[in-house]
Amino acid sequence: MGMNRILLVDDDTLVIKIYQSILKNSGFELEVATTGNEMLSSLAVKKPDVILLDVILPDHNGLELCKQVKNDPAFSTTKIILVSGREISPVQVAEGIEMGADDYLVKPFHPKELLARLKNCLKLKQTEEALRQKNTEMKKLYNHLQHVREEERKIIAREVQEELGQITAVLKMDIDWLAMQMPDEPKAQKERMLNASFTTKHMIEHIRSIASSLRPSMLDELGLYASLEAHCRKMKSVHGIDMVFKHDDREEGLTAEIKTVVYRICQEALMNVIQHADAVEVTVYIQLDKQLLQLRIVDNGKGFDIASQENVLGLISMRERALSVNGHFQIDSILGEGTTVSLSIPCQ
């Protein structure tokens, strides 16, 4: 592992020499910029671990430079220690912290204080990077498990539909054939045959419903919009809720992963409406442009206190599904005025 890179931004030559003297034998690689412009030019090339940034520079305000760097995702883990003279007020110190500074150093300072603050920032940076790496690994694992789960659902759905469904269909045909071949049987036997035929018909419908809930074949064959529209129709028919599905006329460019995520989140959200909202009207909106897919599910139910439900597994699952495709999931609810579920997913 190489030396930690420190970028010093200060226009005072005497102060620069003091820094160089302190850091000379401390295992740091020191680069110097005397203006804000030099600092910005050096950032992308040197990629410093820590920036020692003077608040007052000849061409820039140090606080604004701090904010600019911290708002750039490329330098999200770069630590910034703001350095100022005693003329800087506590209010300005607070402002610097609010703009993203990781620490503050006031001139004149003791060499041990400088080294301690640098080491503390580096430890923080290492911890954050380790957490980012773990989060990345967890996200990859989650995505893999979701993919495996959907593939297993697809296989089970196919087995249920094709094997159990066909066997039950054949059984019904045999029962109906027997009923036709025995027209003179007593009434009790005929009623039992009709009942058996009705039971097998119900079994076929139930098998199809199970297969569809596991993995709707329509999602792979006809696409997301057709699947969601069919799902809304079914829920309206079964539960008696006025459920409307609205969408634009295109879904080109959506990956199979995004389609699955949107369908599953919609499925989960609508089930929550059925089970908890006491709603009589639900509208599902979906819109897609070249860069963003947006889904909104609006109900007129009783609403709920979001803060008390933050850790409910269903909500956590929907958020994790959204994150798996770099999406943003949000719920807004007001007691007595209904709930809105929003999902946005970048498509490029």
Mean pLDDT of 38-57: 89
Ramachandran angles phi, psi of 17, nearest 5°: -65, -35
Ramachandran angles phi, psi of 177, nearest 5°: -65, -45
Q: How far apart are CA 34 and CA 12, in angstroms?
A: 8
Tell me the two tokens of residue 247: 């969408």
* C-beta separation of 36 from 60 below 8 A: yes
User: Cis link prior to 108 (omega < 30° from 0)?
Assistant: yes
Q: How far apart are CA 64 and CA 34, in angstroms?
A: 16
Per-residue pLDDT tens digits for 86-118: 666 777 778 888 888 899 888 888 889 999 999
Nearest CA to 262 out of 348, 341, 337 is that of 341
Tell me the two tokens of residue 238: 């079964």
By CB neighbour count within 10 A (0-12 exposed, 13-18 middle, 19+ buried), where does 95 fall?
Answer: middle
Ramachandran angles phi, psi of 85, nearest 5°: -85, 180
Per-residue pLDDT tens digits for 273-291: 998 889 999 999 999 887 8
Model pTM score = 0.59
pLDDT, residue 1, reads 46
* C-beta separation of 235 from 227 below 8 A: no
Q: Which residue has the tokens 């006809």?
A: 222
